Amino acid sequence: MANYDGMTPGEVLADASVAEFIKELGLGIAKAQKELDDNSVRQMQAFTEVQDSLGERSLLELGLMPAFYHYQHADVSVSLQLRLEVGKTDEFGFSASASLGDTRQQSASSSASESESESGTRVETREARLEYRADATGTLTVNGTQVVPAGQTPRARLGSLRDQLVGGQGIEALVYSPPDAALTITSDAPGSQVVTGARSVAFTFTTTANGLVAIRDDAATDYVLNTGTTVSTSVQGDLAAYAQHVKAQVDAAGGFTTTLHPPHQAGEPQFGVYFDTGKAEFRSADDRRSLTELARAFAATGMRVRLEGMTDRQGSAQKNLALGEARARFVRDFLMANGVGADRIELVDSRGEGRARDAGEDDGTPNQEWRATSIATPERDYYWLSLRSQGSALLDGVAPDLQGGGDGNGFVFLWQPASPDLSTFSVTVEGQAFPLDGAAVAGHAANAAEAYAHHLTAALNATGSLRANRVGHVVEVMRATDTYDVKLFSATSAQLELTGSQGLTVTQQFSRSRSRQVQSREGASTAVAIGVSVNKRESRQFNMAVTGNSQISARLASVPPPDLFVEAIHALQRERRS
């Protein structure tokens, strides 16, 4: 049955099928007429059959004819009564009771409870979110305690905010993501020395010689490192042993620090960028330099890379998932800033502490191995040997030189030392030109990549519309109004109220699940009890009844059979006699 609440009378009649009922009564007359016609035809047998009792004659021969009947008049009358009842009931009840009692009992008692959501053996971490403008100069207040970020760049201020919050105020971790809005950035400096992207400027030159040797074949090969150093190698029986042999021979020649990187194996990273607990930024300048060398090699060879951010099992799984994602994005952005194409980087969804857990690490165990972003090179099925000069050693006139392509063993990438004077060039950001300055500053030598990055960062931050961070030789660029997405994690169920100012906006407070009840009696005390109940009930009832009567009145008339019908009967009779 339909929900008749709100239906019109016509809609109700249609649903009750009254029209169908009347139609069926009318069709009954037509069906009855058809039966009468069929009966008249069936009489032919009886009127033409010869019967012994009639002197071997038929009824037709005796002059009898079959009769035809039809309705000369037929009436259909219908009387119906349709009753529909729709009942609605809405009930709302409210009751309150109060009692007041006076007691003289000397006692004191209190009880408190706090509820926490748990997963396994852990307290489920609560999350708050902030929007931190790149030009923010405000403070964050936590339960009335003001935290003032310090620093000249957005990253520095966010790092200061994290260092002050984590470990106090009930904050477990602070994880942030930089703005991803693209800007128009160009430079008239040589592209081999200044690389511009949608959000970065990188000064890609070094003061130390670096190289990369591809080891594809277990074959005797002479490697020329420079005009004064040639390293000879011999066949070793398999590629793994030969690669170790090459490394040992280069180490024996002196002048270079070497690292051997094995071929890609499914599920096994070939390189790693490591992080401090709770952070997604370089631990040291040496870590940054190592990744820079890899980035330049990836850019030069067009190598495809796969990144996965990870954490150890310290802290909550929820926090570790966000931190793993931030670590992978940090490495991706740094590779892109150094010229690696976005289409050559695959970012694997982070599992946070998942890899550490699968490896059998206990909950809460610190382990530097898992505080990393792994870098895999799925297309590489051979060894790489990286070389870095320990001092003044050069990689000059190298052989075999495969930088233009080719198979076999040889150098596939060189990064030669340089200190260019770029003072006649500039970088343009969103239409604003910034002359390049390589003056010695903050311990960086004149015309060093870090010196140029330092001065450009300062110039950008001096404007009203742009902001920048310096990550070694890379300058991260953004608009002053662009925002960082900041996530705060807390494993305590205690109340935490956040308030931001001047560019720091709290977009999501920590959810709170807390209840507390306190009763106390001391000396003559009064206890008040109040009870309140509220209930609401809604119901709908439908009832439909159809009553009435119907009547059909009709008059039948008998008429002689048509001549054609009589002739057909006579013909049939003659046929039977013959």
**DSSP bridge pairs for 92:** 536
Beta-carbon contacts of 564 under 8 Å, excluding residues fewer than 6 positions away, are: none
Percentage of the chain modeled with pLDDT above 70: 76
40-64 b/e (C-beta count within 10 Å ≥ 16 → b): eeebbeebbeeeeeeeeebbbeeee
Instruction: Please indicate whether residue 543 or residue 168 has the higher confidence score (pLDDT).
Output: 168
Higher pLDDT: 476 or 551? It is: 476
Distance of CA 62 to the CA centre of its chain: 99
CA 422/CA 438 separation, integer angstroms: 7
Q: Give the largest CA-CA distance in the chain.
A: 147
Q: Are 211 and 523 in contact (CB under 8 A)?
A: no
pLDDT of 51? 76
Dihedrals phi, psi of 12, to nearest 5 degrees: -65, -45
Q: How far apart, in whole angstroms, are the C-alpha atoms of residue 398 and residue 416?
A: 12
Tens of pLDDT, residues 192-202: 999 999 999 99
Angle at 566 between CA 560 and CA 568, to 5 degrees: 145
Render the burial of 249-268: b for 16+ CB within 10 Å, e for the rest: ebeeeebbebebbebbeeee
Residue 350 burial by CB count (10 A; 0-12/13-18/19+): exposed, middle or buried?
Answer: buried
Local confidence band at 436 (pLDDT 50, 70, 90 cut-offs) = very high
What whole-number distance in Å separates Cα of residue 336 and Cα of residue 199? 10
Residue 72, pLDDT score: 67
Alpha-carbon gap, residue 272 to 377, rounded angstroms: 12
pLDDT at position 439 over 50: yes
- pLDDT (tens digit per residue) in 369-425: 999 999 999 999 999 999 999 988 899 999 999 998 999 999 999 999 999 999 999
pLDDT in tens, 273-307: 999 999 999 999 999 999 999 999 999 999 999 99
Does residue 211 contact residue 387 with C-beta atoms inside 8 Å? yes
Give, for 2, the enclosing helix (H) or strand (E).
none
Average pLDDT, the chain: 83
205: amino acid identity, one letter: F
Tokens of 477: 């660029």
Q: Which two tokens stand for residue 162?
A: 């994290």
Percentage of the chain with pLDDT > 90? 62
Rounded Cα distance, 466 and 307, in Å: 30
pLDDT at res. 560: 76
Structure confidence at residue 465 (pLDDT)? 97
The pair of three-digit structure tokens given for residue 61, joined into one six-digit string: 């021969």
The token pair at 253 is 């020649």
Q: Considering Cα of 451, then 272, then 373, then 262, what sign does the dihedral take?
A: positive
The kind and range of the H/E element at 185 are strand 185-187
Asked whether 483 and 176 are in contact (CB, 8 A), the reply is no
pLDDT at residue 108 tops 60: no
Beta-carbon neighbour count of residue 1 at 10 Å? 8
Q: Strand 372-376 vs strand 305-309: parallel, antiparallel, or unpaired?
A: antiparallel
What CA–CA distance (Å, rounded) separates 360 from 362? 6
**pTM of the predicted model as reported, rounded to 2 decimal places:** 0.68
- Position 553 scores a pLDDT of 67
Tokens of 238: 């398999």
Alpha-carbon span 258 to 75, nearest angstrom = 112
